[in-house]
Amino acid sequence: MTAAPSGAATQPAFVHETLPYRGDEEFLAGVVGFVRDGLARDETVVIVEPTPRLAQLREALRGDAGDLQFLDMTDVGANPGRIIAAWSAALDRTTRAGRVLRGVGEPAHPARSATELVECELHEHLLNTAFDGGPAWRLLCPYDVEGLAPSVTARALTTHPFRAGPDGRPLPTGKHTARTPAELLCEALPPPSAEGVLRGEFGAGDVPAVRRTVAQYARSCGLSDDRAAGLELAASELATNSVRHGGGAGTLAMWTEPGAAVVEFSDAGRLIDPLVGRRPPATEEYGGRGVYLVHQLCDLVQVRCTTQGTTVRISTWL
């Protein structure tokens, strides 16, 4: 991959770059310059930022003309597992129109919990898997070095092949680590921090019972009817996936974390595609359509796969 993002004629690949910043002034200087450069090249620019940053950029770019779109990260990317689907859709629309896409996205912002930030890091790795080798475009990911833990901003250099240079050109980070899909998904999830975890097993004929059990648990946690119904449907999809693709059976665990109702499914299946559920699947693969729906229904989805099988942990905020 080379770094010559000067439009459709010379940009050879997906350029994924990070922008560390301190305070509003550095944020606006880096992002506004990046956006205006894209508009000057007649590129389509899509900005996906948390609500406060989005308001700042709307004001700063109020007088700028061109194909400029704003999306709220706290909506589009509330669950980090939904973000690749949003970029895939934007890239598809832009490419079909014969244009070049330039994006700004800040998935790892200070309002995220520690658990969410782990999934943001996985998301940043998977962006490279999703878009390397496809149409040429640039994605700038700002990182708030004052609002985020130093470990988070340091690891951003490992997930991004490039960093924003002082003249607007991307420079190699020199720290990017290209990890295989197996490496990305094999890290074990932390055990439940709460006591009183409810556990059970299920087989081919138990999916309706699993659905009823999760629905009852969701209501006992105080979820609204709509959110309880979403968690129930997600559980039904995952139990069905375990039966169809995980050896005909699986295990279920349910517990509460501070501010969240958590449900976890494990089975003996092996995940082939690390992007499963992160973009609308074209074919039926391991839980492809079901896991995509689960990502839309839940506030956080964590997928891990080892030689022992696959685990999917879903959380809905209380």
* 191 and 173 co-located in one domain: no
CB-based contacts of 19, cutoff 8 Å, min separation 6: 30, 31, 34, 140, 141, 142, 143, 163, 164
pLDDT recorded at residue 81 = 97
Last residue of a domain, one of 115, 149, 179: 179
- CATH number of the CATH domain containing 280: 3.30.565.10
For the full predicted model, state whether its pTM sits above 0.95. no
Find where tokens 């209501």 sit: 219
Instruction: Say yes or no to pLDDT of 259 above 50.
Output: yes
* Sheet of 170-172, strand order: 68-72, 44-49, 101-105, 137-144, 14-21, 162-164, 170-172
Identify whether the C-beta of residue 30 lies closer than 8 Å to the C-beta of residue 143: no
The DSSP element (H or E) to which 129 belongs, if any, is helix 114-131
Query: How far apart, in whole angstroms, are the C-alpha atoms of residue 111 and residue 89?
Result: 26
CA distances from 312 to 103, 214, 276 (A): 30, 15, 12
Average the pLDDT over 198-224 and give the result.
Answer: 96
User: Residues of the chain with pLDDT > 90: what percent?
Assistant: 80
4 is a domain residue: no
Last residue of a domain, one of 128, 145, 179: 179
* 80 and 94 co-located in one domain: yes
State the sign of the Cα–Cα–Cα–Cα dihedral 116, 119, 120, 121. Answer: positive
- Confidence category of residue 92, pLDDT binned at 50, 70, 90: very high
Identify whether the C-beta of residue 20 lies closer than 8 Å to the C-beta of residue 163: yes
81 beta partners: none
pLDDT recorded at residue 288 = 57
* 45 and 162 co-located in one domain: yes
Query: How far apart, in whole angstroms, are the C-alpha atoms of residue 195 and residue 255?
Result: 8
- Residue 171 CA from chain centroid, whole number: 24
